[in-house]
């Protein structure tokens, strides 16, 4: 192999590693773009479900609208409707945002259902572990919240914003009635 080919291969490998690292970082911290569903939810959708694909520009635009509805407008009821209209609550990012919205509305039972659905799709979904950990704290389950914190540390490290957020909430005295 000549020197040029070796350099091209090395550059390709370094570029690939960089892109992969960026994708992992974006995925771990959550964004207004959902990650690909796990293979199990993809198989389920291929069985005749005509729901939008997460690569579909219309799906992405609708997801981003719901994301903005949650984080910029705090209109959780509308966001739930928008997210459910996507027909993809089997995707971890979608299920997690539905769970988050229900938690913010005080419907802890439905919130739990959607957090667990998100983790069923992707057991390594860092933002779900964070939000579900905050849910645990709001329910008075500090030991479970600490379990979630340790899971985040394993997945994203102790410097991640998800870890810092849940760790900060755990530092608050029990029974303060804080809602996160």
**pLDDT tens-place string over residues 59-118:** 999 999 999 999 999 999 999 999 999 999 999 999 999 999 999 999 999 999 999 999
pLDDT of residue 17: 40
Q: Tell me the pLDDT band of 55, cut-offs 50, 70 and 90.
A: confident
pLDDT higher for 24 or 4?
4
Which bin fits 140, alpha (ψ -120 to 50), beta or left (φ > 0)? left
Q: What angle do CA 80, 86, 91 make, to 5 degrees?
A: 90
- Identify the three-state secondary structure at position 134: helix
Which of the residue ranges 14-23, 46-55, 73-82 has the most confident prediction, judged by mean pLDDT?
Answer: 73-82
Fold topology of 53-115 = 1.25.40
Chain segment 109-147, per-residue pLDDT in tens = 999 999 999 999 999 999 999 999 999 999 999 999 999
Q: Tell me the pLDDT band of 4, cut-offs 50, 70 and 90.
A: low
pTM of the model: 0.74
- As a dihedral over the C-alpha atoms of residue 114, residue 125, residue 41, residue 96, rounded to 10 degrees, the angle is 30
Q: Can you give the residue ranges of every domain in the chain?
A: 53-115, 124-174
Number of helical (H) and strand (E) elements in the chain, helices listed first: 9, 0
Average pLDDT, the chain: 81
């Amino acid at each position: 192999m000549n020197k040029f080919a070796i350099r091209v291969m090395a550059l390709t490998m370094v570029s690939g590693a960089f892109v992969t690292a960026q994708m992992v970082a974006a995925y771990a911290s959550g964004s207004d773009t959902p990650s690909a569903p796990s293979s199990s939810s993809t198989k389920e959708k291929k069985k005749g479900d005509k729901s939008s694909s997460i690569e579909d520009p219309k799906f992405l635009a609708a997801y981003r609208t719901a994301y903005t509805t949650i984080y910029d407008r705090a209109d959780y009821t509308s966001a739930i409707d928008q997210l459910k209209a996507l027909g993809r609550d089997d995707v971890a990012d979608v299920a997690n945002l539905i769970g988050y919205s229900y938690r913010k509305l005080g419907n802890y039972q439905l919130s739990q259902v959607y957090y667990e659905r998100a983790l069923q799709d992707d057991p390594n979904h860092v933002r779900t572990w964070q939000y579900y950990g905050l849910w645990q704290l709001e329910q008075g389950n500090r030991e479970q919240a600490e379990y979630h914190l340790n899971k985040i540390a394993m997945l994203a490290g102790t410097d991640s914003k998800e870890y810092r957020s849940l760790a900060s909430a755990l530092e608050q005295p029990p029974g303060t009635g804080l809602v996160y």
